Amino acid sequence: MSDDTKQGLQSAFRRKLLMGIAAIPALTVLPRPSFAQAPATSAINTTGLAVTDTEVTVGILHSATGTMAISETGSIEAEKLAIEQINAAGGILGRKIKFIQEDGASDWPTFAEKAKKLLVNDKVAAIMGCWTSASRKAVLPVVEQYNGMLYYPTFYEGLEQSKNVIYTGQEATQQILAGLNWIAKEKGAKSFFFVGSDYIWPRTSNKIARKHVENVLKGKVVGEEYYPLGNTQFNSVINKIKLTKPDVIFTDVVGGSNVAFYKQLKAAGIDLSKQPLLTISVTEDEIDGIGGENIAGAYACMKYFQSLDNPNNKAFVPAFKKMWGEKTVIGDVTQAAYLGPWLWKLTVEKAGSFDVDKIAAASPGVEFKGAPEGYVRIHENHHLWSKTRVGRAKLDGQFELIYETADLVEPDPFPKGYQ
């Protein structure tokens, strides 16, 4: 199909050229084909990437099937929207973006294999992809070995940094600390109860949160509980919460367990409008499954909410809904995924090249003023400077912005004193 479009473009151009020759006197008033002003391919692509005079190819690598499809669908949609918008605005260095989508199928070795396919066979200039830390860890050695560029959208536990990865979501300290500070100040919270799913992200996040609560806020963690991924029964931990009566329940339960957790919390008579609960894992996407009535009143701490009131977001949300349907919701990670193609475009333009080494070197300092979350800038450590926000879940499944940090929060993937 792509070949057809290419031929179509070429013949249209040829026709235009013939017309132009036939009407040489009028040549100056003809609109010039956009790539006429584009730099020569040989100059901006010295490493044999899939860049032609008219097109540049990127890869999209997410799970469209398997358990993670629930979460990753939004990221795929956001990346496609960004690519379409960039193309509509003239592409990158005069070249349209073409994407090749591969399915990681919620299976980490498959992610690695597909990443290798994209880099080695398709020679893509960048990969927008991965969602879970496990998939990123599987892909990381591949992008490092074959020198690719990965734009990773999810908020994650930190403790990683690579020349070949740009982390467009928040790392743990960026996401958590501001939220804990806010709730300690606002609610006078002293005692915290942690509930999480049992894998690396919640455990690392809770470790950071515990250090912060104990060392900085001088509070107390009265319980820390982990449940296997996919667990559907939370009545025991809810009883423990009732017994210990914490000021704040701090949760990072993920996936289908989330739904069970909030439904059972509500059924056990815990009223979230009276019992403060701070979550770092529930976005608008998750509320779709949980149901607004089960989670209304809970606080979420992240960098983006669909309800944010700024001009960028007011253009972004309708564009997203126009492309993917009126009922779609946009969560934090979806927005971060949208940043990937844009940041890559801005970096390529800054570097004046598609070469991965030049992009990696040019990334620090790249700023994106059109981000739906406001303004972001890439840090030397390839994470983003971003604001942290606290939102309160409403009955209709949206968040109401309650608090945001005054300044951008510095990403700190290897936080001292928190390990």
Partner 1 sequence: MFGEYSIGDLGSIFVMQGFAGLILFSVYVLMALGLAIIFGQMGVINMAHGEFMILGAYVTWMTSNFFQTYLPNLFSGYFFLAMILAFIASGALGMLVEWGLIRHLYRRPLDTLLATWGLSLILQQAYRSIFGAREVGVELPQWMLGSMHVTDNIEVPINGVFVMGLTVLITVAVAYIMYKSRWGRQVRAVVQNRVMAGAVGINTEKVDRYTFALGCGIAGVAGSAFTMIGSTGPTSGQLYIVDTFLVVVFGGAASLLGTIASAFSISQTQSTLEFFMSGSMAKVLTLLAVVGILMLRPQGLFALKVRK
CB of 225 to partner 1, least distance (A): 5
CB of 195 to partner 1, least distance (A): 9
CB of 238 to partner 1, least distance (A): 8
Sequence letter at residue 376: V
d(CA 279, CA 196): 10
CB of 239 to partner 1, least distance (A): 5
The rounded Cα 218 to chain-centroid distance in angstroms is: 32
d(CA 275, CA 183): 12
The encoded tokens of residue 292 equal: 């607004």
Using the rule CB under 8 A, which residue among 260, 272, 277, 409 binds partner 1?
Answer: 260
Should residue 27 be labelled a site residue for partner 1 when binding is judged by CB under 8 A? no
Using the rule CB under 8 A, which residue among 267, 315, 395, 401 binds partner 1?
Answer: 267
Instruction: Give me the 46-85 binding string for partner 1, x by CB under 8 A, dash otherwise.
Output: ------------------xxxx-xx--xx-----------
CB 119 within 8 A of CB 127: yes
The encoded tokens of residue 373 equal: 């979350």
- Bridge partners of residue 128, in order along the sequence: 60, 151
Q: Closer to partner 1 by CB, 166 or 253: give it.
A: 253
CB of 267 to partner 1, least distance (A): 4
Parallel, antiparallel or unpaired: strands 127-129 and 165-167: unpaired
Using the rule CB under 8 A, which residue among 228, 274, 309, 326 binds partner 1?
Answer: 228
Should residue 225 be labelled a site residue for partner 1 when binding is judged by CB under 8 A? yes
The encoded tokens of residue 382 equal: 């390839």
Using the rule CB under 8 A, which residue among 2, 5, 232, 419 binds partner 1?
Answer: 232
Part of the chain binding partner 1 (CB under 8 A), chosen from 35-43, 212-220, 230-238, 311-319: 230-238
CB of 357 to partner 1, least distance (A): 36
For 175, the enclosing helix (H) or strand (E) is helix 172-187
d(CA 138, CA 113): 9
What is the CB neighbour count within 10 angstroms for residue 388? 22
Using the rule CB under 8 A, which residue among 183, 290, 300, 409 binds partner 1?
Answer: 290
Give the interface size with partner 1 as a residue count (CB under 8 A): 49
Picking from 323, 393, 378, 304, the residue whose alpha carbon sits closest to that of residue 83 is 323
Measure CA of the first residue to CA of the last residue in the chain; give whole Å.
51
d(CA 94, CA 368): 19
Burial category of 163 from C-beta neighbours within 10 Å (exposed 0-12, middle 13-18, buried 19 and up): middle
Using the rule CB under 8 A, which residue among 12, 120, 243, 361 binds partner 1?
Answer: 243
The encoded tokens of residue 166 equal: 């740009």
Should residue 236 be labelled a site residue for partner 1 when binding is judged by CB under 8 A? yes
Using the rule CB under 8 A, which residue among 16, 116, 211, 240 binds partner 1?
Answer: 240
Part of the chain binding partner 1 (CB under 8 A), chosen from 1-9, 36-44, 260-268, 398-406: 260-268
Restricted to residues 191-220, the positions that interact with partner 1 (CB under 8 A) are 198
d(CA 73, CA 177): 29
Q: Closer to partner 1 by CB, 327 or 416: give it.
A: 327
d(CA 126, CA 114): 13
- Residues at the interface with partner 1 (CB under 8 A): 64-67, 69-70, 73-74, 198, 224-228, 230-233, 235-240, 242-243, 255-260, 263-264, 266-269, 285-294, 397
